[in-house]
Chain A
Amino acid sequence: QSVLTQPPSVSAAPGQKVTISCSGSSSNIGNNYVSWYQQLPGTAPKLLIYENNRRPSGIPDRFSGSKSGTSATLGITGLQTGDEADYYCGTWDSSLSAGVFGGGTKLTVL
């Protein structure tokens, strides 16, 4: 059981937009920065979003992040088949004094 809650799967057609939610509490998302990761099959995770809504260099602006209260959202526009992957949110939990991840969301581009 993950501390952060993500939908197990989402799907959309190529070119469309999808959002992935990440729900937590005041001890984690509510008071700390959220980051998002993309994991393609058989590879290490890759940072997509950090500090809630900032993109590392090289990450296209099709990827966006937002946070409101104790929830965060990853948005992906202009979906491509290459975006099919598992996506994870992560943050620090101040009560646990530990890092926490969501359970992951599998994106299928139909």
Chain B
Amino acid sequence: EVQLLESGGGLIQPGGSLRLSCEASGFTFSSYAMSWVRQAPGKGLEWVSVISGSGDITYYADSMKGRLTFSRDNSKNTLYLQMNSLRAEDTAVYYCAKGHLLGGFDIWGQGTMVTVSS
């Protein structure tokens, strides 16, 4: 079964750091670009970042550029999203998704909640 499982969310104080993980199964992980999308409470979807299959190319949303590092370990079928200098407006459910918006996200994880608050 094709599956994505996020972890690492939680409550973090403003200015803090958090690393999200997303473990993939059921497909040839290294063959696909992978992405993160977030959704603030009661709001719409916001694209966050994409990484190439090999991990050598990444793009980031302006809203988080400079505070994010998206990486992958193809030997572990796992994505990592390192988030630094977190702000209240970063509070959201973070989803990992298989693919790139050019071809559509055909598989989504269940999401992990990040709450930035003192």
Cβ-based interface call for B32 (8 A): no
A91 touches B101 (CB 8 A): yes
Cβ-based interface call for A23 (8 A): no
B43-68: CB near A (< 8 Å → 1, else 0) gives 01111001000000001111000000
Smallest CB separation, A109 vs chain B (Å)? 20
A44 touches B109 (CB 8 A): yes
B101 touches A99 (CB 8 A): yes
Chain A residues near B110 (CB, 8 Å)? 44
Supposing A44-B109, A45-B108, A50-B106 touch, asked if A88 and B101 sit within 8 A by C-beta, the answer is no
Smallest CB separation, A3 vs chain B (Å)? 10
Cβ-based interface call for A64 (8 A): no
Q: In this complex, what residue of A is CB-closest to B6?
A: A44
The tally of residues in B whose CB lies under 8 Å from a CB in A reads: 23
Q: In this complex, what residue of A is CB-closest to B98?
A: A47
Cβ-based interface call for B26 (8 A): no
Q: How far is the CA of A47 from the CA of B101 in the complex (A)?
A: 11
Q: How far is the CA of A51 from the CA of B103 in the complex (A)?
A: 6
Chain A residues near B109 (CB, 8 Å)? 44
- Per the 8 Å Cβ criterion, residues 58-102 of A in contact with B are 86, 88, 90-92, 96-102
Cβ-based interface call for B95 (8 A): yes
Q: How far is the CA of A16 from the CA of B6 in the complex (A)?
A: 38
Supposing A51-B104, A56-B106, A90-B101 touch, asked if A96 and B62 sit within 8 A by C-beta, the answer is yes
- Per the 8 Å Cβ criterion, residues 80-108 of B in contact with A are 95, 100-106, 108
B105 touches A35 (CB 8 A): yes
Q: How far is the CA of A104 from the CA of B37 in the complex (A)?
A: 14
Cβ-based interface call for A103 (8 A): yes
B101, B103, B109, B110 — which one has the most chain A CB atoms within 10 A of its CB?
Answer: B101
Chain B residues near A35 (CB, 8 Å)? 101, 103-105
Given A46-B108, A51-B104, A99-B50, 14 more A-B residue pairs with CB atoms under 8 Å apart are: A32-B102, A33-B102, A44-B108, A44-B109, A47-B104, A47-B106, A51-B103, A92-B102, A96-B62, A98-B59, A99-B59, A99-B61, A100-B101, A104-B44
